[in-house]
C-alpha cells in the first residue's frame, strides 16, 4: 500500500521513515508497518518476499525499515481507523509505481481517492451545486473507469437536505405571502394618503406646464431613492428577523438558542431587490391618478365626496371569498394535511396558510361594505336618545359620511387581529396535539425499563400436601420500592404491557392488556378528561372494587356483547385468566385502539395469576429536575436500568424541528409586522386626517361646539374606528378558526389520542393588550412629533434650559442605576418600570441637547430625527414592559394547569383536578382549582385532602403564595349487582338500628338468595329481636324486587363498653403465653403492648397486640407475619374470639 503524505501524519517509533524515490534494481524495497500489525510478527530489519502472483513469477524482496503510529488518530486525514492497518505494508509512491506495479499486471488491486469536504462552507445556497457536482463526478468516473465506485454519505445527506430545504423554502415563501400582501397594501395606503395631501402641489405643477409623465417621473425617482435606501438597510434588518425566527418555539414564544448563522450572500440581495420592485408600483400608482388632474379638476373633486376606491366598485371581496371557498373544498377532500413523516418530522400543507389568509382578506373587505349603514344607523339612533350624545353622534356621522377615508385603518386593524387569532389558534392546536401524542406514548416524565435478576435453583414440580402440585425453582425477585425514593422524584407507578387474546369466539383478535398499580398511577401518569366518561379517580376506584376488575375498550365491549359486571377470559400465552368488566374507556395511555381490543387491570392480580415478571416504571419528576441526573441517582440506588424513555426530551427535540420553527416563526413575525403597520398607519392617518379637516373643525367650533365637545368627538371617532377594527377582526378570526383549524386533524382520524382543536383565547387577550397599549403610546408620541413637523417651530436655546438639562442628567442616571438594582433584588415591577421610564427621560434629555446643538448650527431638522429615534426606543421599552407584564395585566395563566393537576392528583383521595386558574407574577402566584373526591367521603376527610393539596402546591411550585381548593363530589364508579344489594341491605339495617355482616348472595333461576348475619342489641328479648329482623326482611323484599328469599341469623351485639379487661394471675399467664407464641412465629422478640379482655360472646376472649418487623421489609411480608401469628394463636388457644395484630417497625 502507498498513501500520500503518510509521513506527515505518523510518528516513527522504531527504525526510520521511507526513503524518497524508486529503489535500484536488485535491492530490497523498504516498507513500513503499523504498531497495530502485531499479527505479522515482524521487526525492524527483517527481510520478507512478496509472492503468490502465479507459479512462474519471482518473489519481490522487501525489508522492514520502520514502525509507525498515528500522530492524531482522529485527524480527518485518515479514511479508516488507523488501528485497522494491521495487515498493510506501506511503501513510497515511487517504489509502488516503478518497482512493484511493473512486476505483474495483476498487482494493482484497488486505487482510492479520499476527499474531505469543508462542511463549514456548505450552505443552502451551494448545497444544490455540490450535490450536482458529486453526481457529475460519479458519472465521469464510470466513463473513465467502468468499475469505479463513488462511496460517500455526503451525497445522500445532501439529497435529503436539498429536499427538506426545498420544502422549507416553499413553506416560508407561502407563509410570507399574507405578510407581503399586507406590507404592499400599507405602502400603497401610505402613498395614497401622502399623494392626497400633496394634491394641491401636483395640480399647481400641472397648471405651470408640467406633463403627466414628468409628475409621475418625480414620484418614480422618489420611489427609486426610497427603494435603494431600503435595499441597503433591509438585508441587515432581515438578518435580525431571521435570527428571531430561529428563537421561536411557539406563537409569540421564544427560547434562548444559539443565533442562526445568516450570511449576506447574493441571494439575500436578489430577494431584497424583488421586494423593492414589488413596492415600486405601490408608490407610483397612487401618483398617476393625481398627475392626470389639472388645477380645475382638483378643485372640482375637492368639492365633492371622496371617490370610491377601486375595490368597492369591483367585487374583489367576492372574488377572494370564492377562491377561499374553492380552497376550503380542496382542503376538505384532502386525506393528509398535517402528517408526521417517519421520524416524526413536521410537515404542513401550504394551502392551510394561503386559503385562510384569502378568506380573511375577502371577509375583511366584505365587512367594510357594512361600515356605512352600521355607523349611520347608530348615529340616527343616538340622535333620538336623551342625554349629551352630540360628540358621539358627530363621530358616527363623520364615519358614515366618508367611510372610505376611515376604511383603510379599520381594514388594517381587522386583518391584524384576524390573522393573529388564526395564527395563535393554529400554533396552539399543533403544539397541544403533538405534546399529547407524545404523552400518550410515554405518559410520564420518564419511563424506566428495568432488568430483574432471577433467584433460586432449577425448576422442580413438587407435590403439595392434600393433593395438587406447585413449581419451585427460579423466580424473579421484585426490588424494594424504596430505591425509587430519590431527589427530584415526585411519584412512581409500576406497570407492564401484555399481548393477550380474548377468550370470546374463534376469531378473536389479539389485543393488549396494561397491568398497573391503581393507587400510584394517578400521581405519576398522564390523563386527559375525554378518554372516558368517568374521571381517572373513578376508574381507579372501579379497579379497586375487586382484584379481578378491569377496564375494557368500548369496541371490545360492543363486539363481545358484554355489559358492566359481566365476566370474560383472556389468554396470556397458554394461561387463561378471568376478569370482569368494571368500567369502559375509549382511550388509555399506551393502549392504541387500532392495535386491537385493550384492557386495564390490577398488576398484583395479574402477577398472582401468571407469576411475577419485570415491570416498567413511570417516574414523575419535579419541574426543574434533569432527567439524566434522576436516572443516574436511581442507578446509584440499585435500580438496574436497561432503557429509558424521556417524554420531555422528545417534546423538546421536536420543538427545534426546522419546519416547526419556520411555521411558528413566520406566524409570529407576520403578526408583529401587522401590529407595527397598524401603529404606523394609525399615526399617519391621525396626522393627515386632522390636518385635512382643520377648516371643518374650525367651522364646528364657530357654530357653537365647545373645545371639550370637539375633543370628545375626535376621541369618540378614534375609539369607534379602533373598536370596530378589533370587533370585526375578532369575529372574522373566530370564524376562520372554526372553519380552518379543524382541518389540521385531516389525516388524523386514526391518531391516538383523539385530535383536539385549541382556540387561543389567552393569546387573543394578549393581542388586545399589546395592540391597545402600543397604539396609545405610539399615538401620543408620534402626534407630538407631527405637531412639531407641521408647526415648524425652532427650538429656542437659552442658558437656563441648557443648565437645567445638564443638571438633571447625572441625577437621572443615578436614579436609573439604583432603581433598577433594587427592583431586580426585590422583584418589584414598579421600580423596574420607573427605572425604564427614567431611562427614557435620559434619552429625551440627550435628544434635547442634540436638538439645541442642531438649532445653534442651523440644522433644525436634527431635532425631529432624534425625536423619531426616541419614538423607536419608547416602542422598544414599551414592548419589553408589556412582554414582562402582559401575563399579569391580562390575568393569564402563571403556571401550566397540567402541572397543577398532576400535583393535585398525587394526593391520595383526589379523583380528578379541573378548572385550574393561576394569576400573578412569578413570585406572587395565586391558584384556584377544583378537585373531585369520593361523594361518600366525610366532610372532615375531604377538608384534610384539600389542605394536603394546598400544602403540596405551595411546596412544589415556586412563587405560590395562595391556593384555594374547591371540593366537589365526583361521580362514583357504578356498583356491581352484588355490591348494590349489599349496600342497600346495610342501609335498611342502619334504619332499624341493626348491623349486618357475613353477607352471602347466591343466584337461583335468575333471582337472588341472601344469607346474612344480623346484629341485634343483646338487651332485647327474642320476641323483640325477631320482630325487628322480620321488619328488616320485609323491607328487603320490598326494596329488592329480584330477591327471592332472605335468611337471617341473629347475633347479639353489645355496646363497646361492655367488654371487661381480663386481669389477675390467669390473665398474666395467658399474656405470657401469647407473647411467647408470637415471638416464636416471628423468630425474634416481637410482641408487646398486649391487651386481653372478655368477649361479648360468653366464654371467649379478645386480644390485641403490637408486633415489630424489620422496617425495610415489604408491606406484604409484614401482613403475612400478622396472619401467621393469628393462625398460630387460634390453633393453640381455641377460646380466642377477635384477634387484632398491629405490625410496626422497631422504634
Q: Report whether pLDDT(82) > 80.
A: yes
- What is the C-alpha to C-alpha distance for residues 311 and 321, in angstroms, rounded to an integer? 14
Highest mean pLDDT among 35-44, 67-76, 759-768, 839-848: 67-76
Instruction: Select from 1007, 1036, 1053 the last residue of a domain.
Output: 1053
User: Cell match 405551595: residue?
Assistant: 954
Least confident of 374-378, 416-420, 780-784, 936-940: 780-784
518 C-beta neighbours (distance < 10 Å), count:
21
pLDDT digits (tens, 9 = 90+) for 444-482: 999 998 888 776 555 444 454 444 434 445 556 777 777
- What is the C-alpha to C-alpha distance for residues 569 and 555, in angstroms, rounded to an integer? 16
Domain count, the chain: 8
pLDDT digits (tens, 9 = 90+) for 95-115: 888 888 877 666 777 888 888
Question: Could you tell me if residue 376 is inside a domain?
Answer: yes
Mean pLDDT value of segment 62-81: 88
* One domain, residues 699 and 804: no
Report residue 150's pLDDT band, with 50, 70 and 90 as the boundaries: confident
Question: Could you tell me if residue 170 is inside a domain?
Answer: no
Highest mean pLDDT among 493-502, 616-625, 690-699, 1093-1102: 493-502
Is residue 753 reached through a cis peptide bond, with omega within 30 degrees of 0 on the bond before it? yes
Q: Report whether pLDDT(308) > 70.
A: no
Angle between helices 199-207 and 212-246 (to 10 degrees): 150
Q: What is the pLDDT of residue 786?
A: 41
pLDDT digits (tens, 9 = 90+) for 829-880: 677 777 777 777 777 777 767 766 666 666 665 666 666 677 666 666 666 6
Q: What is the pLDDT of residue 637?
A: 86
Instruction: Select from 60, 80, 114 the last residue of a domain.
Output: 114
Share above pLDDT 90 across residues of the chain, in percent, rounded to a whole number: 7
Contact residues for 630 (Cβ-Cβ < 8 A; gap 6+): 446, 486, 487, 488, 489, 619, 621
* One domain, residues 428 and 375: yes
* C-alpha grid cell, residue 998: 357475613
What's the mean per-residue pLDDT of the chain? 77
Q: What is the pLDDT of residue 992?
A: 82
**Torsion sign (Cα): 687, 692, 693, 699:** positive
Q: Report whether pLDDT(725) > 70.
A: yes
Q: Report whether pLDDT(210) > 70.
A: yes
Report residue 789's pLDDT band, with 50, 70 and 90 as the boundaries: very low
Phi-psi region of 1077 (alpha: psi -120 to 50; beta: other; left: phi over 0): alpha
* One domain, residues 212 and 286: yes
Question: Could you tell me if residue 639 is inside a domain?
Answer: no
* C-alpha grid cell, residue 383: 340622535
**Torsion sign (Cα): 661, 666, 672, 676:** positive
Question: Could you tell me if residue 702 is inside a domain?
Answer: yes
- What is the C-alpha to C-alpha distance for residues 1109 and 1144, in angstroms, rounded to an integer? 6
Least confident of 429-438, 945-954, 1072-1081: 429-438
pLDDT digits (tens, 9 = 90+) for 312-356: 555 777 888 888 888 888 877 764 444 444 444 445 566 777 788
- What is the C-alpha to C-alpha distance for residues 391 and 705, in angstroms, rounded to an integer? 9
* One domain, residues 744 and 838: no
Report residue 512's pLDDT band, with 50, 70 and 90 as the boundaries: very high
Segments of 315-381 assigned E as strands: none
Look at 957 and 1099; give whichever has higher pLDDT. Answer: 957
Instruction: Select from 114, 136, 151 the last residue of a domain.
Output: 114
pLDDT digits (tens, 9 = 90+) for 246-290: 888 777 777 777 777 777 778 788 888 888 888 888 778 777 777
**pTM, entire model:** 0.58
Look at 383 and 899; give whichever has higher pLDDT. Answer: 899
Q: Report whether pLDDT(405) > 70.
A: no
Number of H helices, E strands in the chain: 32, 28
DSSP code string of 167-217: HHHHHHHHHHHHHHHHHHHHHHHHHHHHHHHTHHHHHHHHHTT--HHHHHH
pLDDT digits (tens, 9 = 90+) for 556-603: 988 888 888 888 999 988 788 999 999 999 999 999 988 889 999 999
- What is the C-alpha to C-alpha distance for residues 563 and 581, in angstroms, rounded to an integer? 7
Share above pLDDT 70 across residues of the chain, in percent, rounded to a whole number: 77
- Cα angle vertex 199, ends 195, 203, to 5°? 135
Question: Could you tell me if residue 79 is inside a domain?
Answer: yes
* One domain, residues 630 and 488: yes
Mean pLDDT value of segment 1060-1085: 84
**CB of 917 within 8 A of CB of 929?**
yes
- What is the C-alpha to C-alpha distance for residues 731 and 421, in angstroms, rounded to an integer? 10
**CB of 710 within 8 A of CB of 697?**
yes
Q: What is the pLDDT of residue 1088?
A: 85
Using alpha carbons, list the distances in angstroms from residue 855 to 597, 782, 861, 864, 943. 84, 21, 8, 11, 74
* One domain, residues 232 and 89: no
* One domain, residues 1062 and 1048: no
- What is the C-alpha to C-alpha distance for residues 181 and 362, in angstroms, rounded to an integer? 13
Highest mean pLDDT among 125-139, 576-590, 1050-1064: 576-590
* One domain, residues 489 and 628: yes
Question: Could you tell me if residue 193 is inside a domain?
Answer: no
707 C-beta neighbours (distance < 10 Å), count:
8
Q: What is the pLDDT of residue 1058?
A: 45
User: Cell match 347479639: residue?
Assistant: 1052
**Torsion sign (Cα): 139, 141, 145, 151:** negative
CATH code, 1122: 3.30.70.1350
Q: What is the pLDDT of residue 143?
A: 87
* One domain, residues 285 and 264: yes
Q: What is the pLDDT of residue 1057?
A: 43
User: Cell match 435580525: residue?
Assistant: 240
* One domain, residues 680 and 651: yes
Which residues constitute the domain of residue 1140? 1058-1144
Q: What is the pLDDT of residue 553?
A: 93
pLDDT digits (tens, 9 = 90+) for 742-758: 776 544 444 667 767 66
* One domain, residues 618 and 491: yes
* One domain, residues 659 and 745: yes
Q: Which residues of 468-499 are buried (b: 16+ CB within 10 A; e: fewer)?
A: eeeeeeeebebbeeebbebebbbbbbbbbebe
Q: Report whether pLDDT(80) > 70.
A: yes
Question: Could you tell me if residue 126 is inside a domain?
Answer: no
Q: What is the pLDDT of residue 1056?
A: 45
Question: Could you tell me if residue 169 is inside a domain?
Answer: no
Q: What is the pLDDT of residue 499?
A: 92
Q: What is the pLDDT of residue 343?
A: 42
- What is the C-alpha to C-alpha distance for residues 274 and 25, in angstroms, rounded to an integer? 71
Amino acid at each position: 500500500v502507498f498513501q500520500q503524505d503518510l509521513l506527515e501524519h505518523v510518528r516513527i517509533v522504531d527504525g526510520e521513515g521511507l526513503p524518497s524515490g524508486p529503489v535500484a534494481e536488485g535491492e530490497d524495497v523498504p516498507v513500513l508497518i503499523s504498531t497495530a500489525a502485531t499479527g505479522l510478527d515482524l521487526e525492524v530489519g527483517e527481510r520478507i518476499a512478496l509472492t503468490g502472483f502465479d507459479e512462474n513469477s519471482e518473489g519481490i524482496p522487501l525489508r522492514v525499515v520502520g514502525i509507525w503510529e498515528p500522530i492524531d488518530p482522529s485527524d480527518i486525514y485518515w479514511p479508516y481507523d488507523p488501528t485497522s492497518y494491521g495487515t498493510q505494508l506501506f511503501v513510497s509512491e515511487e517504489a509502488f509505481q516503478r518497482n512493484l506495479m511493473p512486476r505483474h499486471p495483476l498487482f494493482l488491486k484497488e486505487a482510492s481517492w479520499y476527499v474531505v469536504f469543508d462542511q463549514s462552507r456548505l450552505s443552502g445556497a451551494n448545497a444544490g451545486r455540490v450535490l450536482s457536482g458529486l453526481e457529475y463526478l460519479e458519472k465521469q468516473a464510470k466513463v473513465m473507469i467502468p468499475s469505479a465506485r463513488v462511496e460517500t454519505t455526503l451525497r445522500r445527506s445532501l439529497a435529503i437536505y436539498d429536499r427538506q430545504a426545498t420544502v422549507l423554502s416553499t413553506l416560508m415563501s407561502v407563509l410570507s405571502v399574507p405578510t407581503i400582501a399586507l406590507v404592499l397594501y400599507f405602502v400603497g395606503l401610505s402613498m395614497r394618503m401622502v399623494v392626497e395631501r400633496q394634491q394641491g402641489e401636483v395640480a399647481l405643477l400641472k397648471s405651470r406646464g408640467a406633463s403627466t409623465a414628468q409628475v409621475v417621473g418625480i414620484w418614480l425617482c422618489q420611489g427609486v431613492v426610497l427603494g435603494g435606501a431600503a435595499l441597503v438597510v433591509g438585508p441587515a434588518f432581515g438578518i435580525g428577523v431571521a435570527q428571531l425566527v430561529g428563537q421561536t418555539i411557539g406563537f409569540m414564544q421564544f427560547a434562548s438558542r444559539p443565533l442562526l448563522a445568516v450570511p449576506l450572500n447574493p441571494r439575500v440581495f436578489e430577494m431584497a431587490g424583488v421586494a423593492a420592485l414589488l413596492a415600486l408600483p405601490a408608490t407610483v400608482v397612487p401618483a398617476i391618478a393625481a398627475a392626470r388632474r389639472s388645477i380645475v379638476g382638483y378643485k372640482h373633486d375637492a368639492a365633492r365626496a371622496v371617490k370610491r376606491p377601486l375595490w368597492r366598485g369591483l367585487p374583489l371581496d367576492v372574488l377572494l371569498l370564492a377562491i377561499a371557498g374553492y380552497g376550503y373544498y380542496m382542503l376538505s377532500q384532502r386525506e393528509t394535511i398535517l402528517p408526521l413523516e417517519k421520524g416524526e418530522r413536521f410537515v404542513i400543507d401550504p394551502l392551510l396558510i394561503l386559503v385562510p389568509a384569502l378568506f380573511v382578506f375577502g371577509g375583511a373587505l366584505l365587512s367594510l361594505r357594512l361600515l356605512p349603514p352600521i355607523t349611520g344607523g347608530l348615529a340616527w339612533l343616538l340622535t333620538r336618545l336623551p342625554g349629551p350624545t352630540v360628540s358621539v353622534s358627530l363621530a358616527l356621522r363623520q364615519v358614515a359620511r366618508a367611510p372610505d377615508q376611515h376604511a383603510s385603518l379599520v381594514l388594517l386593524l381587522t386583518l391584524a387581529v384576524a390573522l393573529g387569532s388564526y395564527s395563535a389558534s393554529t400554533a396552539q392546536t399543533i403544539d397541544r396535539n403533538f405534546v399529547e401524542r407524545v404523552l400518550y406514548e410515554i405518559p410520564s416524565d420518564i419511563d424506566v425499563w428495568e432488568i430483574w435478576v432471577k433467584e433460586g435453583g432449577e425448576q422442580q414440580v413438587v407435590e403439595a400436601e392434600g393433593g395438587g402440585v406447585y413449581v419451585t425453582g427460579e423466580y424473579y425477585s421484585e426490588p424494594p420500592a424504596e430505591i425509587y425514593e430519590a431527589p427530584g422524584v415526585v411519584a412512581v407507578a409500576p406497570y407492564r404491557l401484555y399481548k393477550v387474546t380474548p377468550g370470546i369466539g374463534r376469531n378473536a383478535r389479539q389485543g393488549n392488556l396494561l397491568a398497573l398499580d391503581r393507587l400510584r398511577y394517578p400521581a405519576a401518569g398522564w390523563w386527559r378528561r375525554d378518554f372516558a366518561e368517568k374521571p381517572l379517580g373513578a376508574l381507579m376506584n372501579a379497579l379497586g372494587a375487586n382484584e379481578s376488575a378491569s377496564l375494557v375498550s368500548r369496541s371490545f365491549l360492543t363486539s363481545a356483547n358484554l355489559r358492566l359486571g359481566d365476566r370474560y377470559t383472556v389468554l396470556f400465552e397458554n394461561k387463561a385468566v378471568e376478569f370482569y368488566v368494571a368500567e369502559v374507556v375509549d382511550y388509555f395511555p399506551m393502549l392504541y385502539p387500532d392495535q386491537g381490543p385493550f384492557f386495564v387491570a390490577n398488576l398484583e392480580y395479574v402477577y398472582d395469576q401468571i407469576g411475577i415478571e419485570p415491570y416498567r416504571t413511570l417516574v414523575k419528576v419535579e419541574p426543574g429536575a434533569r432527567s439524566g441526573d434522576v436516572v443516574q441517582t436511581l442507578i446509584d440506588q440499585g435500580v438496574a436500568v436497561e432503557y429509558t424513555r424521556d417524554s420531555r426530551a422528545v417534546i423538546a427535540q421536536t420543538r427545534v424541528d426546522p419546519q416547526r420553527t419556520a411555521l411558528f416563526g413566520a406566524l409570529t413575525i407576520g403578526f408583529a409586522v401587522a401590529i407595527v403597520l397598524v401603529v404606523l398607519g394609525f399615526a399617519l392617518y391621525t396626522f393627515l386626517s386632522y390636518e385635512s379637516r382643520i377648516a371643518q373643525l374650525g367651522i364646528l367650533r364657530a357654530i357653537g361646539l365647545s373645545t371639550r365637545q370637539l375633543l370628545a368627538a375626535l376621541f369618540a371617532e378614534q375609539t369607534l374606528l379602533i373598536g370596530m377594527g378589533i370587533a370585526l377582526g375578532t369575529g372574522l378570526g373566530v370564524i376562520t378558526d372554526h372553519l380552518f383549524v379543524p382541518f389540521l386533524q385531516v389525516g388524523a382520524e386514526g391518531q391516538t389520542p383523539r385530535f383536539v382543536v385549541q382556540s387561543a383565547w389567552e393569546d387573543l387577550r394578549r393581542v388586545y393588550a399589546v395592540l391597545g397599549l402600543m397604539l396609545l403610546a405610539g399615538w401620543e408620541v408620534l402626534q407630538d412629533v407631527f405637531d412639531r413637523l407641521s408647526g415648524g417651530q425652532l427650538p429656542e436655546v437659552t442658558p437656563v434650559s441648557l443648565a437645567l438639562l445638564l443638571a438633571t442628567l447625572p441625577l437621572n442616571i443615578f436614579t436609573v442605576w439604583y432603581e433598577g438594582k433594587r427592583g431586580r433584588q426585590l422583584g418589584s415591577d414598579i421600580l423596574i418600570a420607573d427605572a425604564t421610564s427614567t431611562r427614557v427621560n435620559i434619552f429625551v434629555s440627550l435628544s434635547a441637547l442634540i436638538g439645541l446643538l442642531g438649532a445653534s448650527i442651523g440644522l433644525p431638522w436634527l431635532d425631529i430625527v432624534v425625536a423619531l429615534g426616541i419614538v423607536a426606543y419608547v416602542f422598544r421599552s414599551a414592548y419589553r414592559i408589556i412582554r414582562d407584564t402582559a401575563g399579569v395585566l391580562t390575568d393569564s395563566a402563571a403556571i401550566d394547569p397540567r402541572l397543577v393537576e398532576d400535583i393535585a392528583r398525587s394526593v391520595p383521595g383526589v379523583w380528578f383536578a379541573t378548572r385550574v386558574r393561576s394569576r400573578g407574577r412569578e413570585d406572587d402566584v395565586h391558584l384556584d382549582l377544583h378537585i373531585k373526591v369520593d361523594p361518600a367521603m366525610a366532610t372532615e376527610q375531604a377538608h384534610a385532602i384539600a389542605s394536603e393539596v394546598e400544602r403540596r402546591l405551595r411546596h412544589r411550585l415556586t412563587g405560590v403564595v395562595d391556593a384555594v381548593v374547591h371540593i366537589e363530589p365526583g361521580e362514583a364508579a357504578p356498583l356491581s349487582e352484588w355490591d348494590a344489594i349489599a349496600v342497600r341491605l346495610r342501609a335498611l339495617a342502619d334504619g332499624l338500628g341493626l348491623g349486618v355482616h357475613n353477607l352471602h348472595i347466591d343466584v337461583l333461576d335468575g333471582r337472588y338468595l341472601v344469607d346474612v348475619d344480623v346484629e341485634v342489641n343483646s338487651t332485647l328479648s327474642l320476641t323483640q329481636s325477631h320482630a325487628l329482623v322480620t321488619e328488616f326482611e320485609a323491607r328487603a323484599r320490598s326494596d329488592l324486587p329480584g330477591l327471592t328469599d332472605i335468611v337471617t341469623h341473629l347475633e347479639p351485639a353489645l355496646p363497646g363498653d361492655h367488654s371487661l379487661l381480663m386481669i389477675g394471675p390467669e390473665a398474666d399467664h395467658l399474656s405470657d403465653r401469647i407473647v411467647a407464641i408470637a415471638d416464636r412465629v416471628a423468630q425474634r422478640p416481637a410482641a408487646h403492648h398486649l391487651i386481653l379482655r372478655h368477649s361479648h360472646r360468653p366464654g371467649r376472649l379478645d386480644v390485641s397486640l403490637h408486633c415489630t418487623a424489620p422496617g425495610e421489609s415489604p408491606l406484604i411480608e409484614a401482613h403475612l407475619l400478622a396472619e401467621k401469628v393469628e393462625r398460630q394463636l387460634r390453633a393453640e388457644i381455641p377460646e380466642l374470639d377477635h384477634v387484632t395484630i398491629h405490625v410496626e417497625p422497631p422504634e
